[in-house]
Amino acid sequence: PQFTVTRNPAPASPQRRAQVLADPGFGRHMTDHMVTIRYTEGTGWHDPQVVPYGPLTLDPSSMVLHYGQEIFEGLKAYRQPDGSVALFRPEQNARRFAGSARRLAMAELPEELFLASLAELLSVDSEWVPAAGGEDSLYLRPFMIATEVGLGVRPSSEYLYAVLASPAGPYFSGGVQPMDVWLETEYTRAALGGTGTAKCGGNYAASLLPQSVGAQHDCAQVAYLDAEERTWIDEMGSNNLFFVFTGPDGAVELATPDLRGAVLSGITRDSLITVARDLGIGVVERRIAGQEWLGGVASGVLTEVFGCGTAAVITPIGTVKHTGGEVTVGDGKPGPVTLQLREALTAIQRGAAPDRHGWMHTM
């Protein structure tokens, strides 16, 4: 497809950009441009464009505003030591985005067009990709909304796909700090047959109330149990979960909840399973009860717990709190397996370790 490029007539000055890149935070600053592509039933995908970043004009009866047909993705572009820019496993995001579209009865964006849209935006806004060597990256946010006008409840016949880019700093300013997690036993995130495997805005809207309950207990994230039995750990509001079990002989095994149909299939999760096995660490995907978390800490077999996702890659979990009390894993500090896996994966992403699995997609 031929993208039309309209340059921003008033881009950020080099000084302003340097100021943003010096301390980007997460999701606070957008680059000068964005991608938009339209879909119309009968015509298909049309008018791919790179345009100046700016407000969208929406009819108030656009379907997304009423029935919530919205999906998104999140992935990072990293500056490589040779100055090139590489995306981490973008084809996985393309595939997951198509799967999310199917679940929300939205038009599926062809995976090649998804990848082309990222390449177009990166080529125009390449100066916004932070310097090589650290954890800084350019976070890309593809999303799609239903734009047909009307109040009938049915799949929209028109969609707007867009991509934003936002420089992202190291998620942890003072080094990797463990977070506390709220184990939620009343609210659930997703049920079998629902939208848990899709990355749709509605899932996050539903997570905000339990998230604020967790925040009242000074917890940064919420861990959810399965909706059917309130027994099995699914994942957190925006991270998958890993548990490190250590046997009496010191042997280490990594366990993560299996993808049982209500869990988001994290690309970091999938990558860590591979990285761990490359390092000779055994990994099992299985059901893990909430009680196993609490009991494993008490008995000492559960030695580390961490969350993983694109934004922070790996976040160690210190204390898990619940209505009945709280327990702290190990000494509450990031564990050795957590740090080893984090270093191994981030080294591949920043181009400091060989890319044995062909994960880095140079633009």
Footprint on this chain of ligand PLP (rule: CB under 6 A) = 74, 235, 238-240, 264, 266-269, 309-310
Nearest residue (CB) to ligand PLP, 79 versus 269:
269
Nearest residue (CB) to ligand COI, 246 versus 310:
310
239 binding ligand COI? (CB under 6 A): yes
90 binding ligand COI? (CB under 6 A): no
Residue 235 interaction partner, one of ligand PLP, ligand COI, none, beta carbon < 5-8 Å per kind: ligand PLP
24 binding ligand COI? (CB under 6 A): no
Nearest residue (CB) to ligand COI, 192 versus 208:
208
Alpha-carbon gap, residue 318 to 179, rounded angstroms? 6
Element (H, E) at 347: helix 336-349
**Which range touches ligand COI (CB under 6 A), out of 77-85, 187-195, 212-220, 309-317?**
309-317
Nearest residue (CB) to ligand COI, 64 versus 124:
64
Residue 147 interaction partner, one of ligand COI, ligand PLP, none, beta carbon < 5-8 Å per kind: none
Nearest residue (CB) to ligand PLP, 167 versus 266:
266
Min dist CB 134 to ligand COI, Å, is 18
Residues 310-329 within binding reach of ligand COI (CB under 6 A): 310-311
Min dist CB 193 to ligand COI, Å, is 22
**Residues forming beta bridges with residue 284, ordered by sequence position:** 255
210 binding ligand COI? (CB under 6 A): no
Residue with nearest beta carbon to ligand COI: 309
238 binding ligand COI? (CB under 6 A): yes
The region, left, alpha or beta by phi > 0 then psi within -120 to 50, assigned to residue 248 is alpha
Nearest residue (CB) to ligand COI, 45 versus 171:
171
Dihedral (Cα; 135, 136, 142, 145), 10-degree rounding: 110
Locate 120 and state its tokens. 């177009």
Nearest residue (CB) to ligand COI, 235 versus 304:
235
Alpha-carbon gap, residue 234 to 270, rounded angstroms? 15
7 contacts 51 by C-beta, under 8 angstroms: no
Query: Which candidate, 109, 124, 205, places its Cα nearest to that of 161?
Result: 109
The region, left, alpha or beta by phi > 0 then psi within -120 to 50, assigned to residue 68 is left
Nearest residue (CB) to ligand PLP, 238 versus 338:
238
**Helix and strand numbers, DSSP H then E, in the chain:** 8, 18
Min dist CB 361 to ligand PLP, Å, is 15
Min dist CB 196 to ligand PLP, Å, is 8
124 contacts 52 by C-beta, under 8 angstroms: no
Alpha-carbon gap, residue 168 to 160, rounded angstroms? 25
Q: How far is CA 3 from CA 115, 118, 147, 159, 256, in A?
A: 13, 11, 21, 17, 41
Residues 49-78 within binding reach of ligand COI (CB under 6 A): 74
Q: How far is CA 166 from CA 13, 26, 31, 138, 350, in A?
A: 16, 8, 6, 6, 17
Binding site for ligand COI (CB under 6 A): 74, 238-239, 309-311
